[in-house]
Structure 1
Amino acid sequence: MSESLEQYKNNTDINSNFEEPATLSHESVATYLLENPDFFALYPHLIEKINIPHSLKGSVSLVELQSEQLRKKVRTLNHKLNQLISIAKQNEAIYRVYADLNLRILKCKDLDEIKFTLEEVIQENLELSAVTIKPFKGPHALPEIQRRLFIEKRFQRNQFFFGRLSEHERKLLFSDQEANSVALLLIGETGELGILAIGSRDASHFNPDMDTLLITQLQQFLGVLLPKMLTY
């Protein structure tokens, strides 16, 4: 009897020296798989045995789920690619309009001809609602008080402004033409020649984040031509 009791104690002591195996947490498994992305390549037979719940199809295999996810990514990438192609085509069309406009302006003989060309191209080809030039000198010059109003309020940092105007400012530049958002550009090296004003019906069309490359080129062309046409 005593020998049996002693043997039981010895077995108990031996078992107490061994710790119970630690259970793996979901996070540990996930971390291991992320750190070993080739795991299923080493054990491909496991892939078909893993079932993953699907909200619409019930349980699906890992291979089927991966294939579906890849198809979704391909569809998303194709959609983004089509959007980029569409934007590129639009940008190319706009570039061609501005390139043609600059060439036509170079052939203008006076300010009225420039205004007519701007209206024809910008309003018809670019489908914008209004465009005008307000010179600072000459018989049709913008009054000094109005000139100061725009320069002090809209041109403090640079020679262009993109955004919305007050109703009073819009009337001064565009009269009754619709211009819910505008692009304003000072013409001349120091903005001494006048303002080119372009309006859109869309209140968000002209905004401070828009690209200025093409419209700046137009501004430069006008800066070269206007001194020859304004009466001082």
Structure 2
Amino acid sequence: MTEPSDVSLDSLHSDNGSGSDRSGASQRDHKLLARQVARYLIQNPDFFAEHMELLETIKLPRQSGKTVSLMTHQTHLLRERNIEMRQRLDQLLHNARENDQLFLHSRQLILALLEANTVAEAGAALYPSFSGDFGVEFTSLILFGPLPNGHSPLGEVRSTPRSAAENAIGSILRNGRTVCGVLRPAEKSYLFGKDADTVASAAVVPLANQLGVLAVGSSDPQHYRSSLGTLFLSYIGEVLERILPRLLTPR
């Protein structure tokens, strides 16, 4: 009788190693095949156009753990992109309408300022326009005196000595540029008078040649931030710099 042969530990190790080698080789072959397939598809972008039936068999994983067909995945992506593009288009149209309104109101205001024959008429054009057309809560136009003798009435526009302006808003005047943000109590009191306690943020435009200052205010402390664009306000300030000297000249 033939006795069964013993199996050594070396032979077991040898067998396990062979299985591991086969598994590693299989993984390498799989990665190599995947790279070859990817390279082929890159070189032949019309492959699926000639094999449309394959698109229905390709499955992609979703975040939910489920898989969907490539066609369903592509449809979902296109739907998301369509929604995003529609939102962008809506925003562009909204901005365009706002810009149209801004241009229209700016044009009306500038024409009214150019047609003004007195400082009072200029103020009567400026204040309602800022309030009604541009939604400004508080507007203040202050001219620095002494003003020329025989000048026209000022109406809603105020006038103070230059020295009073230096004491109250000297740092703003020396800066020479439009300033936005939260003002100190003395600055608000000088610029907005009885409304000072209600103003939480403001934008201030010093007018050139020590002519005066234009200020707008809001009850919202975040409305006039330091990063807020001031192009429009500075533009109106430049218009005032050109028309006010003519209106202050005695006739």
Give the structure 1 partner of residue 59 of structure 2: 51
- Tell me, in whole angstroms, the C-alpha distance in 1 between the residues paired with 2:245 and 2:82: 56
Within 2, Cα distance between the matches of 1:65 and 1:199? 52
Q: Residue 141 of structure 1 aligns with which residue?
A: 160
Local SS of the residue matching 1:206: coil
Q: Deviations over 1:85-114 (max 9, x none)?
A: 111111210121111111111122222222
What residue identity is the alignment partner of 1:218?
Answer: I
Letter in 2 for 1:85: L
1:138–1:230 Cα contact (<8 Å) kept: no
Matches within 5 A, 1:1-232: 20=25, 22-24=28-30, 32=38, 36=42, 38=45, 40-41=48-49, 44-54=52-62, 58-138=66-146, 140-147=159-166, 149-153=168-172, 155-156=174-175, 158-177=176-195, 178-188=198-208, 190=209, 192-230=210-248
Secondary structure, in 3 states, of the residue corresponding to 1:109? coil
Match of 1:10 in 2: none
Contact 1:165-1:182 within 8 A present in 2 as well:
yes
Q: Which runs of 5+ in 2 are unaligned?
A: 1-20, 148-158
- Deviation track 1:152-181 (CA, whole Å, cap 9, x = no partner) reads 24652x421122212331121112324332
Which consecutive unaligned segments of at least 5 residues does structure 1 have?
Answer: 1-15
C-alpha contact 2:168 2:190 (8 A) present in aligned 1? no
Q: Distance in 1 between matches of 2:218 and 2:238?
A: 22
Amino acid at match of 2:122: I
What is the CA–CA distance in structure 2 between the aligned matches of 1:154 and 1:56, rounded to whole Å?
61
Cα RMSD for the two superposed structures: 3.3
**1:57 positional shift:** 9.5
Change (3 A) 1:97 1:137: same
Question: What is the TM-score of this pair, normalised by structure 2?
Answer: 0.70
**TM-score with structure 1 setting the length:** 0.75
Distance 2:87 2:249 in 1: 55
Alpha-carbon separation, structure 2, partners of 1:91 and 1:205: 19
The answer on whether the counterparts of 2:180 and 2:226 sit within 8 Å (CA) in structure 1 is yes
Would you say the 8 A contact 1:136–1:194 is kept in 2? yes
Does the residue aligned with 2:55 lie in a helix, a strand or coil? helix
- Say which one has the larger Rg: 2
Which string of whole-angstrom CA distances, capped at 9 and with x for unpartnered residues, describes residues 114-145 of structure 1?
A: 22221111112212111111112236224515
SS at match of 1:49: coil
SS in 1 for 2:220: coil
Following TM superposition, where does structure 1 have runs of at least 4 consecutive aligned residues deviating by more than 6 angstroms?
none
Instruction: Return the letter of the residue paired with 1:150.
Output: I
Checking the alignment, whether the CA contact within 8 Å between 1:138 and 1:231 is kept in structure 2 is no
Q: Which amino acid aligns with 1:76?
A: E
Q: SS where residue 36 of structure 1 aligns?
A: helix
Identity rate of aligned residues, in percent? 22
Say if 1:206 and 1:40 are closer, same or farther in 2 by CA, change over 3 A. farther
| AA partner of residue 123 (structure 1) | S
**CA–CA distance in 1 between the matches of 2:30 and 2:221?**
58
